[in-house]
Every structure is written in structure tokens, then in C-alpha cells.
Structure 1
């Protein structure tokens, strides 16, 4: 093959040097091919790429592709190329500008679409650290936009604003009424409930309050009047009258030690149980989001590792800011002693070989943004929660849908 290429190249050079004008060399068909040669050169490269991409190795495929290249090149030369050769300097400059603009527009469109697919988790593509960092910073800045609900009807527009406050959402296809209460995770993970349990609920609403937890008197400076807000949650239940209540809350301090040998004697557990009983008596079933480790600000962790010339991994020990073992024990005990309660657990979706993953191992994109909410990629990971296991000591394990569909397995509504 190499020798043939050399022979053709040197043969063509000899013909040019000798300036032969035989009837064969001046035939109209060869003139057409010669005039179209530059166009043919440009066209054959994408065709070669397509053949390789689709593994077209048969000689018939290559022959057809070669013939098509000749035909398309001739058509383009006689239509487009012959036309633009007649343009003036200004016309040519305008054409070049339009072509550059069209090329840039196509590139930006597909690049943005690809980036959106990567962020949404619908596709996985290995990214360089620089590419991943740009997207991670973008997701950090879009945290509040990511929390907002579509088609949210605010109860009191003077006080509430999406995603904060009380929000009525479009009706589903079922007969039950759902109410989701909690801090920002009520919005962050509430979307998962809205999307995957649509066939079970008719009415559905969400009440989201920054930082404040339904079962714990939050001491965060961002949660003002925690006790009063818990009373507001109770008022929401009284007025909305939900069949199913979701306590979807990020535990601000999941690592508070258990103060006694028996978790049932722990003061924080007892306070949580007291509040839970008040919620439980007003509804037919309560789902409680289980605690999981609190991630650190991943951008800062990566900056620190870069300064120390250390690798950036999907699991980094210092990326876990607070362990969740004490709070998980409390929540497990709540479910054991609450007749209508079920816990649903997202932690297992982050686990790989016993480690809590904070980033996608292929794309290096974060599952959590700077304020510890799940990114859209993290939400995509958690969307598997309709198949996710939820725990109850009395009834074993089942999916959320199974628990709702088969209430007798974990108490009737």
C-alpha cells in the first residue's frame, strides 16, 4: 500500500513536469475529477471517520463510500464552489464570516448539550480535571436554581418564594395526599418523590425552611425560631391533612455522640421521638430520610490537594466533614418505635467498597455542591431511589413504592 502511494505521487509529479497533453489526460471526465480534487480531499476525511466509527471493514462498504465521495465532491464543486468563485472581495469576506459564525454556533450548541447531558447524568464521558472543575463551579453557583420546583403555586407569595416556604405542586395520578417538610433537602430530594411517586399521590405540597429540621431544634444561625417553625409544620399537617408525610431533612450535625449506652435513653433521641409522635398521630404513614455523612466543600478540598500535589479522587477522607453513625442509630430506633414510620436511605447509593463516594469516578463531577445539596448529577444518582431499599425492623425491607402499594406489609393507611 505504501509503495502504491509513492508510485502514484511520483507518477503525478512526472506528468506535471512533462506537461503531457494526450487525449486521455485531457479527457473531460478527468478534468471534472481534477477540478473537484480539493473538495474531494475535504469530504473524504469525515467519510473515513464514519467508516471507522461504525467498523465498516467490508470492501463493498469502502467502494460505495469512495464512489459517494466522488459524486458529492463533483456536485459541491459545480454548485457551491463555482458559485463562490464568482463573488467579489466583500462577498467572499461576508461568506467567510457567515461560515465561521455557523461553525461556532454548531460547536457551542453541541458542546453545551453534551455538558448538560453530563451534568444531568444521562451520559458519562471522561473529563479532564480542568473541564470537570469548570462544570463543578457552575453547579455550585446554580444551587438555588437547582432547588426550585417547576409549577410551584405559593401559599402566600408575600412570604414564600420558590423553593422556600409552602408550595403546592401539580396533582398526580393517585388518590393519596403527600406533604414533604424539612430544610433544603425537602426541595432537593422532594423532586425525587414528586417524580417517582406520581402514580400514588393526588394532592402534594412541600414546605421548605432553610437549615431547620422537623425533629431537632436546630442551633444553626440560619434557622431562626426553630421551635416556632416546628409548630408551623404541625399547623401545615392540620390544614393540609396529608395521608403520607415525608420528613426530608439534612441533619446539620449528624455526628452528635449518643450520650448513653442505650440509644433509647439518649436525650436527643427522646426529643426527636417526642416530636415524631406528634406528627405520626395526624397522618397514616411517615417516611423519614435516613442520615448520611456530611460532605465538606469539595472545591476547597481539591484546592488543598492541588497545593500539596496530591491526587483528586472520587473518595477523599477529608471530603467527609461529619460522620453520620450516631444519627443513623437514632433514626433506626425511631423507626422501630414508631407504628407508622418507615425510613428511606440514600447512603447506599454512594457506597463503593465501603467508601462514601462524593464524585463520579468517570467524569470527576461532584455529587454535592458547596452548600452540601445534591447536584443534578447527585439527584440522578438518587433517582434510583424508587428502587432504593428502605428499612423497618418490623417489616424487613421494601421499596418506597412497594410500601405504599402494599400497606399491609408495613401497616395499613
Structure 2
């Protein structure tokens, strides 16, 4: 959250404040709409808590498993496998019969996967055949010490004498079977085509369980390097996605920076594991409990820092509305698509359409900057016909124009700025820095072209009622082939929060004067 506030674009903050609360309460796997499809969210990469759905499923199962396990203890041992199998089967049927979005996120559609892990544990215990007895006195202790003094050779003979018949054949071929299973799982992972989840999920889950059962002392899986990757994997799971999301939002698809991001994620995971994880795992339960409570409340404060700060600032002060802004007005949401699927923008999304329907204006204007509509196509989407973002935009646009008498004016997308460079423009101009260098530092072209393509398609589908208003001719320098967001004296057309400055407003004023003249 601290990195979000300091390094991420402002447009990502509200979405992630809401998602952070879901992650903190372990409900990131709540029921999703079609627009909140997991793979769609991966493609957009605005939500830095997208990956916490699996952690939520896991924690929710930890609430269920004591009841499942304790009930099993009341059942005769010979029926326990049947009991676990029945629960797993019911969960498996629920998984297959549910919608894809529900099956992906629901803990009840995942119980069968966790139960495979429990069965692997139980089979592993019966495979080991360890026996324990309580020592009641010193004679028993002395007797036990004598047993421990058996020579290695004799001990080996005993262990190999009577292996568990149930697993003798399995253990004999365990190494070849392990390598075969590992090869199959790797093949499925790298397979270039998307395989159906209804086939892959059970195959991979059961294959992994089988691999865990037979892979003792496997030369590959027991390798120190791979084992260490396993050690840092939880930290890497938590850390990698926010770093990738930052790259996706700010680096314009630069592949070298993507490699750097991956490297940074691995290094941070190692540091976290070697310092924080190893440290807290040595603490008592009481100390860990206190740390959890402290971190929980610190997170609540950080997530709600804006509201808390506003409340503190308002104590003893009387604020009046600035520039006639009222509570009924909305800011920061795209009318054609619920930006980042945030709660506020979903609510405003229906409000926009309702206001147009009630007022039935002659003309309407959309001034918002592109946010979610600039996201690239989701995986396997190649046309606007299959693009869920565009289809939502089109559906909303058709609702608008059915209640607009003449025209709907839409402000087209323009590249965003790196706001940290704003304060450096004048010093660089003073130092006679090449303006093109400043252009490249200041402009963030990521995703604006995709937003323009969706707008262009929208005009085609708009039945002649949509007009695009374009600032690109006002800011694009044809000589240098770059966007020029400042004048020759170094005065910026933009403010720090990525809005037009008064100087910038004057720069584009004639665009709107011309439109008004022609109405």
C-alpha cells in the first residue's frame, strides 16, 4: 500500500484500496461479475491484490477443515477414506456444475483439491508405518535406548524385511513414476494452447498429489536449488504480482524492464525469507499473535489514510464547497466502462445512464481520461466483437444515444504524463536540455492507443451520433514526432495530478470554442 501511494498512477489507488480490504479479510475470492473475470483482471493488471484470491480460498478452508477432520474421528478408521471421498466427490460435482467464475473462486468448489492433500498425508503415514509408545519408567527408557543402538546394517535389514505390501510395488517403481509425472506436469504447464480447466485442474492436482507421495529422495525434486525456490515461493507469490502490475502500468511493455522486475521480485523474496520469515517462525505463538494484530490495524490505517486524514483536518473547521462541486457530482469514473471495476465506479456507471435517460439532452459530453478502456485485449481476444471491455462500452453508448437528440461528444485518449518530471521541466530547459529528451521523460504513452482504437470503433457503431474531440493535434510535435506538453519557455500544460494546468486549458480552449460555435 505504501508503494501504491508513492509510485503507482493515481488511477490505480481507489481500486486497490477496495481490493486491499478484501485481501485483509481473506475474501478476495468473493463472487465475481463477468467483467471481474480473473484472467481479465490479469490482463489489465491494475489490481495489485488480484493474486490473493488463492490465499483467501486457503484461509477459508482452514476454517472448515477442523470440522471435517473432527467429524472423521468419530467414524471407524476403515470408513474414513470413504468419508473423505464422499466430501471430495460432492465438491468435485459442484466444481463441474458451477459457472466458471464461481468454480474458480469458491472454496466449496476447491475442497476436493485440499482433500487430495489430506489423503496424500494419510497414505504417507501408512506408508511409513511409524509406531510410538509412551515410556512409563526408567526400565522402558533403558530398553528403548538398547533398541536405538542397533547397527545400521541390522536396522536396514529390519526395514527392508517386511515393507508395507500395499506400497511395495509403488515404491519399487517410484523414481521412474516420479520422473514421468513430473514430465507430464511440466508439459501441461508449457503447452502453447489453452487447455480446459475442467480437464487440467483435476489432472494437475491429482498428478501433484501423486508426485508428493512417491518423490522421496527424488534427485530433481530434492535438489537444493529447487528446494530453496520452494522455501522462498510464498514470499515470491506475494511480491511478484504488485511488481509486475507496476511494470504493466508504467513501463510501456519494455521487455528489459520486465526481466528487471522479475529479478527484483526474486531478490526481494529471498531477502524477505532470509530475514522476516526465518525470524518470525522462531517466535512464540503469543508473539506472532501480537504481530498479526499490530500489522492488521496498521494496514487498516494505511488503507483508509485519506479518510482518516480528512477527518483529522476537518476537526474544528467548517468547509464550504469549492467551485460549486456538490455531493451529487462524481469524479474519476469512465461513463462508458466502470473504471477498474471499483465499487464507486460501478454505482456511477448506472447513474450516468439514468441521468441521460431522465434528462434526454440535445447534446452530451464525455470529458473523462481513459483508464480501464486503455487496457489491452484479454488473452485469446483478437477482435472488438469478443472484447468484454468494448462490448460494455458499446452497450452503454447505445443506451446514451437512444436518449440524446443530436450528438454525443467524446474526448479521445491522450498519453498520460510522468508527474514526477513536471517540476524538472523548467530546470532542464534552463540547462538547455534537448526538448525531445524532456518529451520522452515526461510522456507515458502506455495504453492510450488501445483506448483510441476502442473509441474509433465506438464511432463506427454509434449510428452517426458520436463525435470525437481530439487534443492530439494540439500537443503532438510533427517535427520531433513526440508529444510536447510544455511551451518553449518551459511552462507545463499539465499539473502534478495529471490534469491540464490553467496554461494548458488556454492552449486547448479554441477546440471547445469551435465546437460551441458550430452547435
Q: Fold conserved (TM > 0.5)?
A: no
Name the one with the larger strand percent.
1
Q: Rg bigger for which structure?
A: 1
Name the one with the larger helix percent.
2
Q: TM-score, normalised by structure 1?
A: 0.41
Q: TM-score, normalised by structure 2?
A: 0.33
